[in-house]
Structure 1
Amino acid sequence: MVHFLSLVRAYLPSDDSIENYKSELNILDNLYTYYSVYGNCIIAGDLNASCLDKDRPMSNNYKSKELLKFVSRHHLLYAGGEIQIKGPNYSYITKQTMLDYILCNESMYRKLRYYEILDEGKISSTSDHLPVVAEFVIDSNPHRVMNLCDELPSWHKVSDAQINEYKKLLNDPVDMLIDKSRSFSYVDIDAINDEFVNILHTAADIAIPKCGFNPHTKPYWNADVKRAHDNERSKRRCWVLEGRPRGMHFDSYRMYKRAKSEFRRVQQVANE
């Protein structure tokens, strides 16, 4: 089974509405719950609440409690807690509080090489938040990186003769790979996997017709997803026309957020 690494970028509400914050945090909770099923998941962004005791006098305690419940529920580690920081012990310059985090679980923490908050002025930035940098050492990338100009095998157009040619091209290289793996007392399974994938790609490049790579094609995009997407776009346009107000007490913002959440839910159901 291939395990994926997901990165979720987050920006949680900065206003004082606890209900607004809980609503957005619930969406983040659902995203983390969904993607963590398929592998490790990292959350990074401005969470507009602090997990640190030192920041309590200068931050919204209600929002901080909700954030702490979230990280505790999912066993996430954060800077200033288990994760040691290089640089300042804050990310929000004005109040010198920690609002920006890169959250990870224990598994990803073991791959963390360093975690640094850059000092003010170290790089050119007009933000009142300091940049947060983390480096994780990932074992390998099992995926083939695609570019917009790449072509993919067009399996729906393939003929029986092309399939037979594809099989013939696989026979000798696969047999040689099997013999190679048996000739060593220690086998690097990742190296064997990479060689096998290359054999499949080479055979397909020779024998199978190609089609262009369309990054916008989504097989699960059915009529329900399209309706939910159209509704989400419509509500967003209304919100933008009203000047992008923030806060659940604004009808356009509330309706947009609900439509966006429903679109994500319908997408998730269709993709299962």
Structure 2
Amino acid sequence: MNLNIIAWNVTGIFSSATYLTDTLVKHSVDICGIAEHWLSPQNIHLFDNLSSDYCYHAVCDSDLYDISNTRKEKVVLLSYGKKYNDKIVPLNIDSDRLVGIQLQLSPNEYMFFFQLYLPCSNHSISLYRDHIDKLYDVWYQYSNSGVCVFLGDFNAKYIPNFSISNRDKLLSRFLDDCNTVPVNCLDMCTGSPYSFVSYDEKYRTLIDFICIPRELIDCISKCFVFDDSCLNVSRHVPVFLQLHVPNIVFTDNEAHVPNVCPNWRKANNCDIDMYNNCIERDRDILHIGACDLDIDGIDNACNMLAVKLSYYADTCIPKKRFMKFLKPYWNTNLKNAHKHMRALKIVWCADGRPRGGTNKMITDGWADYFRDRYTPSDIADDYID
């Protein structure tokens, strides 16, 4: 199956809605990453009206919690076709420049998509480094569970071994460390050599990428950077990738079964011998080399092998299970207290992160200070993850 992916910095969705909806339909887009949609939390529902065939997972700029701040840049969104609605789970990432989703291909196969918008050159290099470190954290957390795809506006150029600016070096080092490559920097990518053009057309550069693991390069069916269009009023143009991935072979009921992994560390010699005997006696596995050497034949052979190996591991090897009783202290009261604490932090950030304290803060405490300064209606539930 082919998965069509787009990454685009829209520079304001109100002026780019027509071009976006036309692009989604024309290119049968499955997953679309958006940067700089410029929507406040109360207006994010606009995406419901763009297309009835898509769902979305979005975050808004944390600076928007300060109503006096009109700057709206750190805003990202991932939109995906409703046909994948029961296969996709939004990820909870503590960042207003990064949003992610999990796509389940089979009971034990996952792909993770992360749409990002890294700080532009108006911000310090230390801030850019902090967000690169956040990408490292995300990659370390999810790469062991599946394939990680990063897409969006990186606000840096990818020039391996020749990077001059600190931003370019940080980006190149991150991608190299994660064995990841921007597909639109490969020779197979066609279309415009630039993804960003300044309004005065003095600056043209490639800073928008779709990045996949190097081992998936052979799975690329098509890749190109859009040419400019009269309907596109953004300074950026979209990047398109068509990726060939294994067919989704599980049923809807299987999609909701918790993933219980084999615990190989607890497997003894008897368990391993039983597992090996099952594989050695399986005729389908023994004759896998006789499969048809076309795309469908190889896909079917890979799917069969994955299902067989998973089944024998599930039968012969002990399981890993999450033990809820290891955290008995986490209950409804603690959950509500945690939610309230996060709400107070949002208010504290919106108030300019005051430090040092005042007499009122010292005598009444931080909670009373915020309670007197803000009413509960000021902290909307929509702001809380």
Return the TM-score normalized by structure 2.
Answer: 0.40
> How far is 1:234 from its partner?
4.1
1: CA distance between counterparts of 2:342 and 2:187?
38
Give the direction of change, closer, same or farther, for the CA distance of 1:3–1:17 in structure 2 (3 Å limit).
Answer: same
Q: Deviations over 1:180-220 (max 9, x none)?
A: x79x99795736989xxxxxxxxxxxxxxxxxxxxxxxxx9
Query: CA offset at residue 98 of structure 1?
Result: 0.9
8 Å Cα contact 2:183/2:212 also seen in 1: no
Counterpart of 2:204 in structure 1: which amino acid?
Q
Match of residue 255 from structure 1: none
Partner of 1:7: 113
By percentage of residues, which structure has more strand?
2
Structure 1 unaligned runs (5+)?
147-151, 154-180, 195-219, 243-249, 253-266, 268-272
Provide the residue aligned with 2:239 in structure 1. 132
CA contact (8 A) 1:9 1:45 kept: yes
1:63 to 167, 177, 181: 167
* SS in structure 1 at match of 2:181: coil
Partner of 1:42: 149
In 2, Cα distance between equivalents of 1:2 and 1:107 = 19
Q: Tell me the CA shift for residue 32 of structure 1.
A: 1.3
- Inter-CA distance 87–11: structure 2 relative to 1 (3 Å threshold): same
Contact 1:46–1:99, Cα closer than 8 Å, also in 2: yes
Structure 2 equivalent of residue 117 of structure 1 = 225
Residue of structure 1 aligned with 2:134, choices 27, 30, 45: 27
C-alpha contact 2:246 2:303 (8 A) present in aligned 1:
no
User: Structure 1 52/139 Cα, relative in aligned 2: closer, same or farther at 3 Å?
Assistant: same
What SS class does the counterpart of residue 22 from structure 1 fall into? helix
Question: Matches of 2:109 and 2:180 in 1, distance apart?
Answer: 19
Residues 233 and 193 of structure 1: is their aligned pair in 2 closer, same or farther, counting only changes over 3 Å? same
What is the distance in 1 between the residues matched to 2:183 and 2:220?
12
What's the CA shift string for 1:77-97, capped at 9, x where partnerless? 124544532111111111211
Q: Are 2:183 and 1:75 equivalent residues in the alignment? A: no
Q: Which residue of 1 aligns with 2:323?
A: none
Counterpart of 1:17 in structure 2 is 124
Amino acid at match of 1:10: L
Give the SS at the match of 2:148.
strand
Gaps of 5+ in 2: 1-106, 258-283, 292-300, 308-326, 355-384
CA contact (8 A) 1:91 1:130 kept: yes
CA contact (8 A) 1:79 1:101 kept: yes
Change (3 A) 1:109 1:251: farther
Figure out how many residues of one structure are paired with residues of the other and give that number.
Answer: 189
| Residues 251 and 65 (structure 1), Cα distance of their counterparts in 2 relative to 1, 3 Å cut | farther
**Would you identify which runs of 4 or more consecutive aligned residues in structure 1 move more than 2 Å?**
79-84, 142-146, 184-194, 222-239
Residues 52 and 81 in structure 1, CA contact (< 8 A), matched pair in contact too = no
Rounded Cα–Cα distance in structure 2 between residues aligned with 1:71 and 1:128 = 25
The 1-side partners of 2:114 and 2:222 are apart by 19
Distance of aligned partners of 1:45 and 1:231 in 2 relative to their CA distance in 1, 3 Å threshold: farther
CA drift at 1:107: 2.1
Equivalent residue for 1:190? 303
SS in 2 for 1:77: strand
1:27 match: secondary structure: helix
| Post-superposition offset of 1:111 | 0.9
Higher relative contact order (CA 8 A, sep 6+): 2
Match of 1:38, SS state, is coil
Q: Is the 8 A contact 2:184 2:209 kept in 1?
A: no
Q: Measure how far apart 1:56 and its partner are.
A: 7.0
Q: CA RMSD in A?
A: 4.2
Moved more, 91-100 or 80-89: 80-89
Q: Residue 84 of structure 1 aligns with which residue? A: 188
Query: What fraction of aligned residue pairs are identical, expressed as a percent?
Result: 17
> Which letter does structure 2 place at the counterpart of 1:111?
C
Map Cα deviations across residues 92-139 of structure 1 (whole Å, 9 max, x no partner).
1112111111011122212111111101117x3332111111010111
